[in-house]
Amino acid sequence: MTYGQPLPFIAYWYLAYREPIGIKITCTNLQSLKTRLYAARKESLDSDLMEIRLVTSPINPDTELWLIHAQSIPASVPLPPARRKPLQDDLDDI
């Protein structure tokens, strides 16, 4: 899927969430994109998006970022740790 105009950063999370595996984003500055995507997810307060991981493409590590469901990632691909604050349900279990 290709778009003529850039989407709001939160839209990429929802696109990835709706896809069976996830999406690929091509860009020129991966670190800046990651920072903006993480900020958008945090602002959304949508806990469903926490199952999506940002993974630098092993095929094109300088230009591709994958937003993929954690359960879709092969065990051989190292994952960054999930970043989220505990939900009240999590705290009740302690």
Contacts of residue 68, defined as CB under 8 A and 6 or more positions apart, other chains included, come to: 16, 21, 22, 23, 52, 53, 55
Paired residues of 55 in beta bridges: 66
**What was the pLDDT predicted at 20?**
87
pLDDT of 6: 67
Q: What is the pLDDT of residues 44-86, one digit of tens each?
A: 888 888 888 888 888 888 889 999 887 766 655 555 554 444 4
**Which one, of 53, 47, 57, lies nearest residue 88 by Cα?**
47
Output the pTM of the full model.
0.68
Q: What is the pLDDT of residue 49?
A: 86
Starting from the edge strand earliest in sequence, which strands make up the sheet with 64-69, in order?
Answer: 22-26, 64-69, 52-56
- How many CB atoms lie under 10 A from the CB of residue 35? 12
Q: How far is CA 92 from the centre of its chain?
A: 27
pLDDT at 22 over 70: yes
